[in-house]
Amino acid sequence: MLLYIYLLSHSVLLAMIAEFLFLHLLQGWHRSRRMEVAIVIIEDQEKQKGIQSEVQVLEMVSGHENIVDFYGAYYHQAPRTPSLPEGLWIATEFITGATLQDLIGTRKTLGERWISYICKQITTGLFHLQKKNIIHHDIKPENILITSYGEVKIGEFGFATFGEKSSSTSGTITYSAPEVLANFTNKHEYDHK
Which tens digit of pLDDT belongs to each residue from 71-104?
888 877 766 555 667 788 888 999 999 999 999 9
- Give the active site residue among 44, 69, 102, 138: 138
pLDDT of residue 160: 84
CB-based contact 59:47 (threshold 8 Å): no
Q: What is the CATH number of the domain that holds 80?
A: 3.30.200.20
Q: Which DSSP symbol is given to 163?
A: S
User: What are 105-161's pLDDT values in tens digits?
Assistant: 988 888 999 999 999 999 999 999 999 999 898 899 999 999 999 999 999 888 788
How many whole angstroms separate alpha carbon 120 and alpha carbon 122?
6
Residue 130 CB-half CA count within 13 A: 6
Tell whether 5 is covered by a domain. Answer: no
Active site residue 44: no
Q: Please check whether residue 120 lies inside any domain of the structure.
A: yes
Q: What span, in angstroms and rounded, lies between the C-alpha atoms of 93 and 66?
A: 12
Does residue 51 belong to any structural domain of this protein?
A: yes
Strand partners, 147: 97
pLDDT at 182 over 60: yes
Last residue of a domain, which of 93, 114, 134? 93
Percent residues over pLDDT 90 in the chain: 34
Which is more confident, 41 or 141?
141
Closest alpha carbon to 157 in 96, 77, 67, 32: 67
Same domain, 103 and 165: yes
Residues 63 and 103 both lie in one domain = no
Residue 157 lies in a domain: yes
In degrees and rounded to multiples of 5, residue 23 shows phi and psi of -145, 135
Same domain membership, residue 177 and residue 102:
yes
Q: How confident is the model at residue 63 (pLDDT cuts 50, 70, 90)?
A: very high
Q: What is the pLDDT of residue 8?
A: 34
